[in-house]
Chain A
Amino acid sequence: MRRFTPLFLAAFALFSAGCEKKSQPTPADTGPQGQATQPAPTGGTPPASETLLLGEVSSLTGSQASFGVSTQRGVEMAIKEANAAGGVKGKKIAVRVYDNQSKPEEAAQAATRLVTQDKVLAIIGDVASSNSLAMADKAQAAQVPMVSPASTNPAVTQKGDYIFRVCFIDPFQGFVMAKFARENLKLDRVAILQDNKSAYSIGLAEVFAQKFAEMGGKVLATESFAQGDTDFRAQLTAIKKTKPQGIYVPGYYNDVGLIARQARELGLTVPMMGGDGWDSDKLFELAGNALDGSYFSNHYSPQNPDPRVQKFIADYKAAYGNTPDALAALGYDAARVVIAAMEKSKDLTGPSIREAIAQTKDFPGVAGTITLDENRNAVKSAAILKVGDGKAEFVTTVNP
């Protein structure tokens, strides 16, 4: 039976190779190889090749895969559009995509690979703050500008002056939902269920708790879970005992869907509230009707009548067959901000692209108008969406 062993090993190798790396430099393969002989990754040497290579690190597999895939499609679309319009400074743009399997350690490794081996001009990524935090050190050290599409944890851009984002930050989302809960929903007593493994979730929960208390409400209980848990009944049982009027669950869609189902099952019928981590079609599939009447804050709503947004939605639908979620919109915006900066940049080195990104002002993104402040964060408004009937309806906008 020994002859079966090589066959088996080959199959295994095939699988692991297929999972580890899904990189597709879009127009041509010449870019990265041509650059392989170039000296040190200081970001100070202009590339000599025909294509301008960008890097992207995204959660294409693992627990946040739905976010990662959407983002990657948004980026891909932005680059295709830019190339169709003639590229940047007469050159085509390519993107090298690495999967981080939704894990910070993989994200850090991918970022290292992008700056040392592939020598990309800028990095786009990641969605989850924990992953972006792991990548930021690498990008900063190599002086390669990094633009996160959707990492909302404040610490991300504090990693250094090469790190940017095109979304608002957690304190703002926590504040928005606390304000909405007090003023629109008129809630007095709420409980919080946070994901202790995610910097994003803790960040939102902290600000929500603080602002909600400042506005005269009472936080009855703060329970926690760890990303990847599938049984939340113990926490929900403890929360139920406090008889809250609402539960703030700033988690990701895959956890929230299960939490909602199990909460309803235990007899907890109060509305839930959350942040942009809820935004995925998968949420409705996982939650069934359990989230009807719940609310979350988000970066954009596809129901926004702005022609710019509607054109983006139509193009995206034509390319991928479904309505883009906020992550796709932010990925698209992030890539366009980078491309615009490359166009403005003097010599396409790390420092000069960084300079150009930092000057982004009133940039017309599909997820709001982007102006980067001195902390390299985007200042923009948030949308509140209400869940019902397997979809999210636009309720109102809350400004900073």
Chain B
Amino acid sequence: MSQLIQHLINGIAAGTIYALVALGYTMVYGVLKLINFAHGDVMMVGVYMGYATAMMLGRQARGSVGGVLLIFLVAMAGCALMGFLIERFAYRPLREKPRLTALITAIGISFTLSYGFQLDIGFLPGSAPRAFPQVIQPAQWFTLGDPEFPDVVLWNWQVISLLLAVALMGGLQFLVYRTRFGRAMRAVSFDHRVAALMGIPTDRVISVTFMIGSALAAGAGLLYAIKDTSVSPLMGLYVGLKAFVAAVIGGIGNVPGAMVGGLLLGLVEEFVVGYAASTWRDAVAFGFLILVLLVRPGGLFGRVAAEKV
């Protein structure tokens, strides 16, 4: 029983991060019908920005609320800028071209970032994984059983990252359904040519969507780095792929779907590894995807031909 609780805690912690990364996929897909395969690598760059900030702050970064906030702010702002540039110079010129062209460009950007960051020149970090500084000083908030050899441990960063993720998701949901900008996003998603005719600045809406998606990726990446205590240039490929699966499971283009998809995937993986073997992890994760798509081709929350954001 205690093992089950521990697996639940671990699974939710992992799933939250998949969910946050999946949100970025889903937003961009919702608005542009583009699967932005560079999303995971934008996340990786965000983590390196956070890493650099934490290194500059030095000891002050450890356990201080201001330091953590600054790290998140720098990384998220930096990634928002990067998202803007990528959209502006890589995707926008291709917007009226066949969709495959943009997809291939996305894969190109993904490889440029993940392999470019393995170069060891100047400010580029080199290929070896690095330890991410413990910006949230780990503390056990709850233990069950023998305190020396606890059966269940709940860590402060697990709670903090869950709360942070829920807050970011809530903010996004509010933005999409309760604000003027959100209405513009939904309009562009529905038909960007008609939206433009109605006086909606489509280019600006798409740019901002990319920026928000990239900032969310940076936030998720930092939570991931804090959880797994490491950062490496190839981390984006792996997490990005998993988050993409999560977005599809939830119904790509659907915000609550991405959250549920991420959490489900995190839990499924945790239970597979905990009770079977980790070699099964990917097989089961993708098997789960196939199963969902067989039963509900639009994903769990997807509705065919409904408006999507």
Contact = CB atoms under 8 A, between A and B. Distances in A.
A343 to B, nearest CB: 35
Interface string A316-357: 000000000000000000000000000000000000000000
A106 to B, nearest CB: 12
Contacts of B171: none
A237 B10 contact: yes
Contact of A62 (B93, B234, B282): B234
B188 to A, nearest CB: 19
Interface in A1-48: 1-2, 4-5, 8-9, 11-12, 15-16, 18-19
A131 to B, nearest CB: 15
A282 B143 CA distance: 32
Nearest to B109: A12
Interface string A226-238: 1011110111011
Interface in B108-139: 108-109, 111-112, 115-116, 118-119, 126-131, 138
A19 B234 contact: no
B190 interface: no
Contact of B227 (A19, A63, A231, A240): A231
A8 B150 CA distance: 53
Interface string B198-239: 000000000000000000000000001001111010110010
Interface string A49-63: 000000000001111
A9 B255 CA distance: 33
B93 A286 contact: no
Nearest to A230: B228
A65 interface: yes
Of B3, B109, B112, the most chain A CB neighbours within 10 A belong to: B112
Contacts of A262: 228-229
A231 B10 contact: yes
A235 B7 CA distance: 10
A265 interface: yes
Interface in A180-236: 196-197, 223-226, 228-231, 233-235
Given A65-B128, A224-B277, A15 B3 contact: no
A: interface residue count bin: 35 or more
Interface in B70-116: 88-90, 92-93, 108-109, 111-112, 115-116
Nearest to B273: A234
Nearest to B134: A288
Interface stretch (A143-151, A164-172, A253-261, A372-380): A253-261
Given A1-B92, A12-B112, A224-B279, A258 B228 contact: yes
A98 to B, nearest CB: 15
A285 interface: yes
Contact of A65 (B127, B228, B271, B279): B127
Contacts of B282: 226
Contact of A234 (B7, B92, B151, B235): B7
B279 A226 contact: yes
Contacts of A238: 3, 274-275
Given A1-B93, A63-B234, A233-B10, A265 B155 contact: yes
B274 A237 contact: yes
Nearest to B113: A15
A243 interface: yes
Contacts of A314: none
B281 interface: yes
A61 B274 contact: no
B10 A261 contact: no
B270 interface: yes
B153 A16 contact: no
A254 B274 contact: no
B2 to A, nearest CB: 8
A395 interface: no
Contacts of A16: 111-112, 115
B127 A62 contact: yes
Contact of B119 (A18, A62, A288): A18
Contacts of B149: 240, 243, 267
B278 interface: yes
Contact of A224 (B115, B116, B131, B278): B278
Contacts of A267: 143, 148-150, 153
Contacts of B173: none
A230 B89 contact: no
A226 B279 CA distance: 6
B274 A234 contact: yes
Given A1-B93, A234-B10, A19 B119 contact: yes
Interface string B251-285: 00000000000000000001101110111011000
Interface string B4-23: 00110010001000000000
Contacts of A282: 128-129
12 contacts: A15-B112, A15-B116, A19-B116, A61-B115, A65-B127, A196-B278, A229-B281, A231-B14, A237-B274, A266-B6, A282-B128, A286-B131
Given A223-B277, A254-B128, 13 more contacts: A1-B92, A4-B93, A12-B111, A61-B127, A62-B118, A63-B234, A65-B128, A66-B128, A224-B278, A226-B278, A234-B273, A241-B151, A286-B131
Interface of A: 1-2, 4-5, 8-9, 11-12, 15-16, 18-19, 60-63, 65-66, 196-197, 223-226, 228-231, 233-235, 237-238, 240-241, 243, 254, 257-258, 261-262, 265-267, 282, 285-288
The 6 closest A-B pairs by CB, nearest first: A234-B273, A234-B274, A230-B228, A65-B127, A61-B127, A1-B93
